[in-house]
Chain A
C-alpha cells in the first residue's frame, strides 16, 4: 500500500530538546507504517520516546526533523485536518475533575463540531458503551482511576475517529479494569478503527497488538509481529537464583548451555541452546559443582526476551 494511503506514517521523525552540548534526542529518526485497521503496539520504558512520538503524530509537538502523515494529512502543514480525524487519549486520563462525565462529552462534541441535535444521544451512547451511564452526572473528581480511563476513551471517540492514539491507556489500573479496557479497544478495532497504542506493559502489547515496535533511547530497535519477534530470539530462557557467593561459578557453568541473557536483579539468565530438555542437565551440573539452586523458572521466548535482546536490559516490573 502506498505510504500516503496508510493511516499513520512516520519517516525519519525526530524531536530534539535543548541545543548545543545539552541536546536531548528524545526521538531520533522513527519510521512507522501502520496499516488500516491495525492495532500497533509501541513499546518501551519511560523516557524512551513513545509519548514524544505520539505528541508529534497528534500535532501537539512540532517535529525537529522528518515528517509524518496521519489519516492522510501532513502532521505539520495540515494539523487541523489531522485533529479532525484522530481520537487521542493521552497519559494519565487528563480530565477536568470539576465537570461531570456528560458535560465533558458535550464539550468535546462542540469542540469537534458535531451537529447540536446529536450531542445528548451521542453522550448517552458513549457513556453506556464504557459502562458509565450511572456515573454520567457525577463530577469526574469522584471517579476511580478505571472510570476516568474509560471516560477518557469515550471522550476520544465522540467524533468516530478513524485513527485512535492511546498513550499508556492502562498504566496504574487494576487487572480487572485493564482487561475491561482491552476488551473495549478490541471492539473498537473490530469496528475498523486503527489504533496506535503505547505501553510499557509487555503483556498488553502481546495481547492487543498485531505488530509492535520497540523503542529505546529515541530509536526503534525492533519492529514486527510479536510471534515472529519471539521466534527470532530462539531458545527458551532459564532464570535461576543461587547463593550470592556461588554466582560467579554458576555463571561460568551456565554459559556452557547457551548465551547469558539479561535477568531480573539477583537472578541469572541463560538461553538454552538445546531447548527445555537441557534443564535437567543444568540442575545436575550445578548440583555436582555443589551449588544449591534456590529458585528456578523456565520461560519460552516472550516479548520481554525480545526487549532484553534488543536493548540489553529488561523492562522494570516485566514478567519473567
Chain B
C-alpha cells in the first residue's frame, strides 16, 4: 500500500500552484526567495481585515482586544516554535534584515568601540554583513569574515583561529545558507563563540521554514527569522533575544508603543518586548505569521525536513547526469536548496529558458556577493529551492527542462 506523500497532503492548501505561466503549469522552485502561502494564511489575514481590525494594545473596545489577542498570539506561537523562554524575548520586526539592523543599531552602537571586531562568515546574506559594516564604520570597528570550504561548509579551523586572533565582540552566522543550502553546526559555533566571550547572532531566515529550532539548546543570544519564507506574509519577521541582553539594550526607534511615560522633562521606556516596537505594527502580518507557524506544525516540521532532505538527494543525483553541470554546495547537511552552474553558460540564460517552460528559479548572486567572489562565480548560480509542496516529479521535469535549455544554448 502506497503511503501518501507530503506534497499530496499539502498541495491542495496552495491555490497558486494550480496556475500556469507562459501557458505551462507553474513549477515553483524559488522557495528560498519566498514561499507560497497556504489558504489558512490567506484567509486568516482576510478574516482579520474583514472582521476584527483595530489598533492594538491601547483600545478599550472589543475589536482592539480581539486584534491584540490575535497579534500577541502570533508572538506566543513564534516563542513556542523556537523554544524561547518567554514571549518577551520575541520582538516583531519587518523581517530578518530589519531584525539584524535592530541588533546592529541598538546593541552594536552601545557595545562596539574602536578596534572591536564583528566576526561573520563568507556565506552570509548581505543582510548579515552590511548592517555590521555600517555600525563598524561609525565606531571604528571591523567586520572580519570566516572562510568557506570548497564543498560549501564553513572552515571550522579558520573559525577557531579567527575567534582566537580577533576576540570578536559579536559573531554572526547563518543557520542555513540561502545560496549553498549548507546547514551550519550552530550549537558548536555558538559554544565556541561563547567560550571566546562573544555575543552570538544567528540568521535563521532559511532555517525557520525547514528545521526544528531550539534557541535554548543552541544557546545563542540573538536569532532572527522572516515570515514570508516560512509560508507567512511579507513585511513581518522576528528577533529573538535572550531576556538579559534585550533588557540591557537601549531602544532603537522611538515613538508610540515603546514608551512608559513621555514628558519634555524626560521619557521612560516600555518593558520587553514593546521597548523595541515603536509605532503601529504589521498587525495582520503578526497574526498570519502565527497561522503560518500553526500550518508548519500541523504538517510537522520533522516531516518537512525529511521530505526536503530526500528532495535534495534526488535533485543532486538527477542533475548529476547532465554534462558540464556542477553543483555548488555539496555539504552533507543541507536545507532544500540546490545551486548549480553549467560550463560555459550564463545562469541568466538558463533561468530565462526555464521560466519559458513554466519553472520559477532564481539566478544571480542571491545577495551573497562575497561568497560568489570567494567561489570565483562571477555570474552567480542558478538556484532551485524546495518547500513542503515540491514533488520529485517537479524536480525530474526541471532536469528535463534544464537539459533542453542547455541544448538550446550550446
- Do these two chains really belong together in a complex? no
